[in-house]
Amino acid sequence: MAGPGWLERLRAASKTALLRDGKRKIHYLFEDGKEMAEEYDVKTGQLVSRKWREKSTLGGSGNWQVEVGEPASPLLGALESELIKESSSNPVFMRKDTLTSFQWRIRNLPYPKEVYSVSVEKEQRCCVVRTTNKKYYKKFPIPDLDRYQLPLDAAALSFTHANNTLIITYKKPKEILAAEEELQKELKKIKAANSGDGDCTTQ
């Protein structure tokens, strides 16, 4: 079974926890050297952000790649920030999940709802956003389904449009919900680094 395989990888990873600003931050170090950092809202257990980092070709740490949460905003010089301001109307794509759904938000899309179509491409294992006016096209995967090797289901996909933002929702399959519940049990066993017990890492 591939699904439990991913959960086993998470269990086997070296994990460090930190409680700060109402968030539980978990850092995973996998056997292959990959790192994953997640942040959860302490009150709701909601995933706030997930980032990945791999070793660079020279063996150093690469840059963090954001999978869930606000896109990384690099520190910009004055000139660059001026240029960015001019193009601030460009669409901004980000993922922001709920407890029961994967969710993506695409800001700065002013067209009415009937212009958009969102579909599942099962062979390519991705979702595609198209507009009838040819102004926007976006193809994106759902890494969680890939990690658990689950099929994409067109019936799980829906979208809405409000305040110049396209909100795409994909209902989490029961296998993912069950795995996330198991993982939360695991994460609660990790003592946080600032809870007075020192920096605690569990295997």
pLDDT digits (tens, 9 = 90+) for 47-81: 999 999 998 777 777 889 999 998 866 555 445 55
CB atoms within 10 A of CB 21: 7
Q: Is the pLDDT of residue 151 over 90?
A: yes
Q: Does residue 190 carry a pLDDT above 90?
A: no
Instruction: Please give the pLDDT value at position 198.
Output: 41
186 band by pLDDT with thresholds 50, 70 and 90: confident
pLDDT tens-digit profile of 108-146?
A: 999 999 999 999 999 999 999 999 999 999 999 999 999
Model confidence at 107: pLDDT above 70: yes
For 156, which DSSP code? G
For the chain, state the CA radius of gyration: 19
% of the chain exceeding 70 in pLDDT:
83
Asked if residue 166 lies in contact with residue 129, where contact means CB atoms within 8 angstroms, the answer is: yes
Find, among 115, 116, 122, 110, the residue nearest to 158 by Cα. 116
The CATH number, out of the four listed (3.40.50.2020, 3.40.1230.10, 4.10.910.10, 2.60.40.790), of the domain defined by the range 2-70+89-193: 2.60.40.790
